[in-house]
Amino acid sequence: MFLCDDTTIDFTPQPGNGAPVWRGHAPSGDDLKSFAAAVHLAGGRMAAIWGSDERRRAGGFRLNCVFGLESGHAWLSLDLPADEPCYPDLSAIFPAANRMQRATRDMVGIASEGGDQRPWLRHGAWPADWYPLRHDAVHEPGMGAGFENLPSDYDFVQVGGEGAHEIPVGPIHAGIIEPGHFRFSVVGERVLRLEQRLGYQHKGVERLFIGADMGHGARLIGRVSGDSTCAYAWAYADAVEAACGVEAPPRALLLRALMLERERVANHLGDLGALGNDAAFAFGLTQFLRLKEDWLRLNAQAFGHRFMMDRIVPGGVTVDVDAPALAAVVEQCGVIERAVKELRRLYDEHPGLQDRFATTGVIDAALARELSLSGMAARATGMLLDGRAHRQGYTPPPPYAGLGVRPATDERGDVAARVAVRFDEVFESLRLLRVIAAGMIAGETRIEIVPLAGARGLGVIEGWRGEVVVGVEFGSDGKLARVHPHDPSWQAWPALEHAVMKDIVPDFPLINKSFNLSYSGADL
């Protein structure tokens, strides 16, 4: 039970062995806004927002809001009428709600009362009065909605004044990267303001979930953002298991953690190399990519897939590892640890790298909290926020509750801090992998799950980039009625806009890489 001003909202704990989640229903929009204000006052954060079309069952629409609290997550729903569904603007309380609200309107037609009304995911591919996630939205098989994809204008915020001008970058870039538009307002080379326009990677995944069976949903979720396939798959599995009231076996949880930590190490190795390269230290890139390649090859040998796709599923895992594979994992941890320690010494003692890293792209803890930031970028501002680790009032889900995760933090908030946190997290994950391998218990690796009609669940996993959230709802036929995957990049992209202020345009690639945010995961 959480108290919001004069209104008491009853919450019930979600079943399952995932991260702690409490479910509640807001009687009105004012109650939702009051609860959001209370969470903000308590130092909480906005974790996710999405909408669903409930007209076939409840006669209207539903808004779902997930708030991050010190003790876990509160999942609050608000029922809305079928005609002109709207709710109070939450972006004045949590700035991170801005883009989520706009995406919810574009996809479902649920609008906020006030706030930024510009489109976010709609780029001229469908009319303003057509909503892809409504039940009555007609989709032609193999052709999407059948609308002509027209160019669309976007009302960027303009900065005036003597000497100010704009530099548009993207959405097509001079490299094999995903599309995003960055509009810099500058004086000389100094950045006054950055505004992003994303959504070019929108691929209709949320629509593909509707009507799919649970197994097909597991395959889809692992492809939302390929560098976080284990995090998404585990969050989806937790959501399904919570909805169906089952718990995955202990050995399966250990195997999930083994894969998740290997995913974390792989991404940090790649990013540390890319960060060196962006600061003209190509040697760092070649060495870290060599280590990452060795790491991925062992993934393929031990789990049958370099990125471990389709290995984590509702009910457990689809792959087991034997004693020789675990021994190979432990042996590789020692090899990688020795190599990364030597490379860290080179990075720390290289004057050119440190000159580029230090005091570049700074955000502080106060801003990180205001923007509901999570993950590595938040910990690089000194925040002790890690869903795998114990904190006051919070016990992490198994198996992390028994692993004693030591969160890596750095208070500087700049590129150098984000590099340091990555190094520290690599070493901590290597330690965890050894502990998991040594403590692997016998037992089954998967149980069967029978979908429950109308059931819903929420999964939250600490991925390598931050907090991955997946909401799941089953229809009356046992098929998926709604699945919403949420990437931590939703909150981190606005933080990047702040991080580049007062730096120079040539520093943007380095600052951008220090966050390494997902376009595909954010632009569903």
- 274 Rama class: left (phi>0) / alpha (psi -120 to 50) / beta: alpha
Mean pLDDT computed over 468-493:
97
What pLDDT shows up at residue 1?
Answer: 45
Q: Which pairing describes strands 86-88 and 111-113: parallel, antiparallel, or unpaired?
A: parallel
Say if CB 205 and CB 222 are below 8 A apart. Answer: no
Q: How far apart are the first and last CA of the chain?
A: 33
How are strands ordered across the β-sheet holding 467-474? 456-462, 467-474, 480-486
Residue 3 confidence class, pLDDT cut points 50, 70, 90:
very low
User: How confident is the model over 9-40, as pLDDT tens digits?
Assistant: 899 999 999 999 999 999 999 999 999 999 99
Mean pLDDT of the chain: 94
DSSP H/E element including 73: strand 72-80
Give 493-497's long-range contacts (Cβ < 8 A, gap of 24+). 493/99, 493/196, 493/198, 493/517, 493/522, 494/95, 494/96, 494/98, 494/99, 494/371, 495/363, 495/367, 495/368, 495/371, 495/373, 495/377, 496/194, 496/196, 497/193, 497/194, 497/195, 497/196
* pLDDT tens figures, 363-406: 999 999 999 999 999 999 999 999 999 998 899 999 999 999 99
Q: At what angle do helices 508-515 and 250-278 cross, to 10 degrees?
A: 170
Mean pLDDT, range 296-315, rounded to an integer: 98
**What mean pLDDT do residues 313-323 have?**
98
pLDDT at 196 over 70: yes
Distance separating alpha carbons of residues 35 and 249, to the nearest angstrom: 36
CB 107 within 8 A of CB 49: no
Closest CA to 494 of 201, 271, 195: 195
Cβ-contact 473, 242 below 8 angstroms? no
Assess whether pLDDT exceeds 70 at residue 141: no
Cα 130 from Cα 230, distance rounded (Å):
34
**Number of CB atoms found within 10 A of residue 155's CB:** 9
Q: Phi/psi at 7 (nearest 5 deg)?
A: -115, 130
Q: What is the pLDDT of residue 7?
A: 58
- The neighbouring-strand residues paired with 31 are none
Predicted TM-score (pTM) of this structure: 0.96
Check residue 524 and give its pLDDT. 67
Contact by Cβ (8 Å): 278, 509: yes
What pLDDT is recorded for position 6? Answer: 53
- Predicted local distance difference test score (pLDDT) of residue 201: 85
Strands annotated E in 160-225: 164-169, 181-187, 190-197
Residues near 222 by Cβ (< 8 Å), separated by ≥ 6? 229, 230, 232, 233, 309, 310, 312
Confidence of residue 58 (pLDDT cuts 50, 70, 90): confident
Q: Which amino acid is at 251?
A: R
What is the pLDDT at residue 461? 98
Give the domains, in start order, of the chain with CATH numbers.
Answer: 2-113 (3.30.460.80), 205-515 (1.10.645.10)
